Amino acid sequence: MHFELSRAQRLLADSVREFCQREFPSSRVRELMETEAAMEDRLWREFADQGWLGLHVSEQNDGLGLGIVDLAVLAEEFGRACVPGPWFTCTWAASLLQQIDSETARRLLSSLVNGTDKVSVAALEDDGDWQIRPERLASEVADGRLTGHKQCVHHAGQADWLLLPVRCSGTMAVVVVPADADGVQIEKTPGIDPTRTLYRVSFRETPVADDQILATGGQAADAWDAATRIMCVVTSAESLGLQEWMLAATVDYVRTRRQFGRTVGSFQAVQHHCANMLQMTDSARAAVWHAAWAVQEETAQADLAASTAAAWTSETARRCGNLAIQCHGGIGFTWEHDLHLYYRRAKACEFLLGDASFHREKLGRTILAGAD
């Protein structure tokens, strides 16, 4: 067993970190988050040139052909810098498209990977259930027309294409719709995390041609589940990066802030908070790496591992945030301090693809259904 990153993966981490330090200092993140796109064309181009829009996409599809562990490394660094914008949703779209064997999907994937088109995944419906099952999807394609609503869609306002699960002839289908198609209405609904803009998307009798229905039935469900597993790893890895930053910022602060004639980090109460943050971050790393490896190798445990990581990091990122703010005192409660950017992102990641209680229930159900 070798529960560590390879040399190449460490180099990847270093180069991404260096890039983020240069391009995404918090002052820049704050400027970007004041804009709806939360991203600059120039930087998006850079992402494409670096291969970060298709790190895990096969080389036939213009990706780098790396694994999910590499993707987790990238996501962690993006989390550490609180990188704003549509990278998450575009990576989700890429993960989904590459599972699908269709000419339209391939073309779309390649224009996504090379940075030409942005694709947002519109998954969540009004009932807020992350378990996407055809019998419960209210969005439906019938007679070549799509009608329904999706909420909390990342960066739909800047997307060229929307990728979504729908009900179609009683089964699940994955369809793609141009964001400016007839009957598509996109409304901004700001969330707690200003570094990613959320939208409510409504479809009314939006035309959907046959080649826009990318997959149906078991194929669609399998593609959806596979992409979900990957993205559970990605959001968990981002949460891990957030935690790493919060821990480091807190330790730095309590080392220098003085009260009662000594550093506040010398008080045992504060030390224990920091130690708890460390333990949570360390354990989150184990969960994220395990999930990344299991999903990459498609082991029998992949689903469980992905949900375990999501369940664990949903909690640890939030709790690290709670402790980080607490150890900072008043300054940690200000807008000026960067902590709240991380705290808000952690809350958004907690929800994304299901919160801890969603994943725990899923884990419980799977385990209880298993053979004795």
Partner 1 sequence: MDLNLTPEEAAWRDRLRAWLKDNVPEPWPQERRTESDADYWQFLRDWQRRLYDGGWAGVSWPKEYGGGGAGPVQQSIFLREIVRARAPESLGVIGEQLVGPTLIVWGTPEQKQRFLPRILTAEHVWCQGYSEPNSGSDLASLTTRAVRDGDEFVVNGQKIWTSFAHIADWCLLLVRTDPDAPKHKGITCLLVDMKSEGVSTRPLRQMSGDAGFNEVFFTDVRVPAENRLGPLNEGWRVGLTVLMNERANLGTAMYVYMHNALEQLVTRCRQRTRRGRRLADDPRVQEKIGQAWTELEIVRLSMDRALSRMSAGQTPGSEGSLLKLGWSEANQRLVQLSMEILGDASQLSTFDGGTWAYRYLRARGNTIEGGTSEIQRNILAERVLGLGKSG
Ligand X SMILES: Cc1cc2nc3c(=O)[nH]c(=O)nc-3n(C[C@H](O)[C@H](O)[C@H](O)COP(=O)(O)OP(=O)(O)OC[C@H]3O[C@@H](n4cnc5c(N)ncnc54)[C@H](O)[C@@H]3O)c2cc1C
Residues of this chain that interact with partner 1 (CB under 8 A) are: 124, 126-129, 131, 136, 151-152, 189-193, 198, 200, 258-261, 264, 267-270, 318, 322, 325-326, 329-330, 332-337, 339-340, 343-344, 347-348, 351-352, 355, 357, 361
| Distance of closest approach, residue 335 Cβ to partner 1, in angstroms | 4
**Which span sits near ligand X by CB under 6 A: 96-104, 191-199, 326-334, 359-367?**
326-334
Site residues for ligand X, 202-261, by CB under 6 A, read 257, 259-260
Residue, CB closest to ligand X: 329
Angle CA(54)–CA(56)–CA(57) in degrees, nearest 5?
60
Most distant CA atoms of the chain, gap in Å: 75
| Distance of closest approach, residue 244 Cβ to ligand X, in angstroms | 20
H/E stretch holding 166 reads: strand 161-168
On the CB side of 154, CA atoms within 13 Å amount to 26
Say which entry of partner 1, ligand X, none residue 325 contacts (CB below 5 to 8 A, set by partner kind).
partner 1
- If the CB atoms of residues 130 and 267 are measured against ligand X, the closer one turns out to be 267
First to last CA, the chain: 28
| Distance of closest approach, residue 242 Cβ to ligand X, in angstroms | 20
**Rounded Cα–Cα distance for residues 330 and 308 (Å):** 34
- If the CB atoms of residues 114 and 326 are measured against ligand X, the closer one turns out to be 326
- Please answer whether residues 117 and 108 qualify as being in contact, where contact means their C-beta atoms are separated by less than 8 angstroms: yes
Angle CA(230)–CA(235)–CA(236) in degrees, nearest 5?
95
- If the CB atoms of residues 269 and 367 are measured against ligand X, the closer one turns out to be 269
Say which entry of partner 1, ligand X, none residue 6 contacts (CB below 5 to 8 A, set by partner kind).
none
| Distance of closest approach, residue 330 Cβ to partner 1, in angstroms | 4
Using alpha carbons only, how large is the chain's radius of gyration in Å?
A: 21
H helices of 53-162, in order, are: 68-80, 87-97, 103-113
Question: Phi and psi for 204 in degrees, rounded to 5?
Answer: -125, 110
Q: DSSP label at 67?
A: -
Size of the site for ligand X (CB under 6 A): 12
**Which span sits near ligand X by CB under 6 A: 93-101, 122-130, 243-251, 322-330?**
322-330
**Rounded Cα–Cα distance for residues 100 and 221 (Å):** 11
**Rounded Cα–Cα distance for residues 68 and 230 (Å):** 7
Among 1, 103, 209, 269, binds ligand X (CB under 6 A): 269
| Distance of closest approach, residue 74 Cβ to partner 1, in angstroms | 25
Positions in the binding site for ligand X (CB under 6 A): 257, 259-260, 264, 267, 269-270, 326-327, 329-330, 333
